[in-house]
Amino acid sequence: MSVPLRIAIIGSGPAALYTLEHLLAAPGLDLEVDIFERLPTPFGLVRAGVAPDHQKIKAVTRAFEPLLADPRVRFFAGVEYGRHLTLDDLRQAYHLVCFATGAQSDRRLDIPGEDLPGSLPATAFVAWYNGHPDFAGLQPDLSCESAIVIGVGNVAIDVARILCLTPDELRRTDMPDYAIEALSTSRIREVHVLGRRGPVQAAFTTPELKELTTLEDTALVIRPEEAELDPLSRAELERSPDRTLARKVELIQHIAASPPPPRGRRLYLRFFIAPDRLIAGEDGRVGAVHCQRTRLVETPGGGLAAQPTGEEELIPAGLVFRSVGYRGRPLPGLPFDERLGTVPNRGGRVIDPATGDPIPGLYVAGWIKRGPTGVIGTNKPDAAETVRAMLEDAAASRTLATPRVDRAELERLVRFRQPNVLTFADWQTIDRLEREAGAACGRPRVKLTSFEAVLRALGRSPAPA
């Protein structure tokens, strides 16, 4: 009797679920797939990262749900790799293991004052307003009048926009109650978003910029002199194969040339300005950010870097968000590239850095494979590449040893180590309860934001894990 190909996927965000989708679609395969998720709920950054006022993007979960309901698939939530399951456990139970754990930490600025109270990673704030159980207690102090967001990627734009939403706009989102309440009573009147390079190099995309012009009570302000292109930027724009870039620059220049509408809040989108230290106020919390104006210079590698001009600027702010990128965390038992914050791999096959050879049976997908870049859909071709490698290796018997622990035994082990384990049926109940609670107050859903709250809603009392 042939043994089904047994596969474990660690994580249940888009990279994990596109990996699952490609595996299930592979013709003629006898498969059994187990998904292990650390949090009590599935979907990774779709639930805990995508902005709560972007419900259309969050709707991608509808395409993921049938995958988790497939009879070949088991979903174990609340199970943490490295805590409830080790690499050794996985080696005994599966032919192939794919890690899709994302980038769970943030990049640092490495400037003085970065860790002052009131200076937060944007990633933590995003997780807080999305009800991520690890960040529900963040309590950002929104009692100041001015906030700064460092970086001009889409996360920076999300954070700036969320800080500017009116109570009405907030109530249309699936933000948890605590975030709606805190943001509705926020005293922040101005938000400064700081880009160290120019409009051509800005990492945000055009629809996200356009959205900032349609906020109910916020005027977007760009300085005309900062929207102008220097010769290096003009040359980069002309060379660029990205056809949307010219439209983005045009929009930036159009906003800069238009008088700001009379609205209660101001969102200043700045270019050519780089923070070099955070300065404490009298209360010991962050009080201002000291910046240097910059100009672009060519790097030996052919890129364009920001170089300080010597002109200084001090921007007062009681809250600072460092939004300079996510960063992957090492996974116990796997090699890790400290510089890139990723697991070394070739096309998804985990590589032993000492030999440069693939480690049989171990794979990566998503941000832990390629770094924190791209949108949700980018994970689809990324996962396809990993699945191709997995299936090629399975066909050539380059897998882990034949499993010695069967499906039922593995489940017993998981339940012994984590008695509070949750299943896909549990998620379906939670999903229904959250949506019903939302419908009662005209919101998409009201999220449960702790493991205990999820268990209580399911009528269970937490067992020590």
DSSP bridge partners of 6: 32
- Interface with ligand NAP (CB under 6 A), residue total 24
Instruction: Verify binding: residue 153, ligand NAP, rule CB under 6 A.
Output: yes
Instruction: Verify binding: residue 143, ligand NAP, rule CB under 6 A.
Output: no
Q: Which two tokens stand for residue 404?
A: 């010695």
Question: Between the CA atoms of 8, 9, 12 and 14, what dihedral angle is there, to the nearest 10 degrees?
Answer: -140
DSSP 38-88: SSSSS-HHHHHTS-TT-HHHHTTHHHHHHHHTSTTEEEEES--BTTTB-HH
What span, in angstroms and rounded, lies between the C-alpha atoms of 91 and 400? 6
Least Cα distance to 286 among 295, 277, 273, 296 occurs for 277
Instruction: Verify binding: residue 458, ligand NAP, rule CB under 6 A.
Output: no
Instruction: Verify binding: residue 296, ligand NAP, rule CB under 6 A.
Output: no
- For ligand NAP, which residue of 46, 79, 155, 350 counts as binding (CB under 6 A)? 155
Say if CB 17 and CB 47 are below 8 A apart.
no
Could you say which residues in the range 262-291 bind ligand NAP, by CB under 6 A? 274
What span, in angstroms and rounded, lies between the C-alpha atoms of 319 and 117? 9
Instruction: Verify binding: residue 174, ligand NAP, rule CB under 6 A.
Output: no
- For ligand NAP, which residue of 10, 109, 148, 160 counts as binding (CB under 6 A)? 109
CB 45 → ligand NAP: shortest distance, Å? 8
Instruction: Verify binding: residue 368, ligand NAP, rule CB under 6 A.
Output: no
Nearer to ligand NAP, 323 or 386 (CB): 323
Instruction: Verify binding: residue 326, ligand NAP, rule CB under 6 A.
Output: yes
- For ligand NAP, which residue of 12, 19, 119, 201 counts as binding (CB under 6 A)? 201
Instruction: Verify binding: residue 341, ligand NAP, rule CB under 6 A.
Output: no
Least Cα distance to 312 among 296, 280, 288 occurs for 288
Could you say which residues in the range 372-411 bind ligand NAP, by CB under 6 A? 372-375
Q: Phi and psi (nearest 5°) for 87?
A: -60, -35
Options 58-66, 75-83, 191-199, 284-292: segment touching ligand NAP (CB under 6 A): 191-199
Options 63-71, 196-204, 226-234, 422-430: segment touching ligand NAP (CB under 6 A): 196-204
Q: Phi and psi (nearest 5°) for 314?
A: -115, 120
What span, in angstroms and rounded, lies between the C-alpha atoms of 140 and 155? 17
Options 112-120, 148-156, 308-316, 387-395: segment touching ligand NAP (CB under 6 A): 148-156
Kindly list the residues in this chain that would bind ligand NAP in the complex (CB under 6 A): 109, 150-156, 158, 195-197, 201, 203, 208, 274, 323-326, 372-375
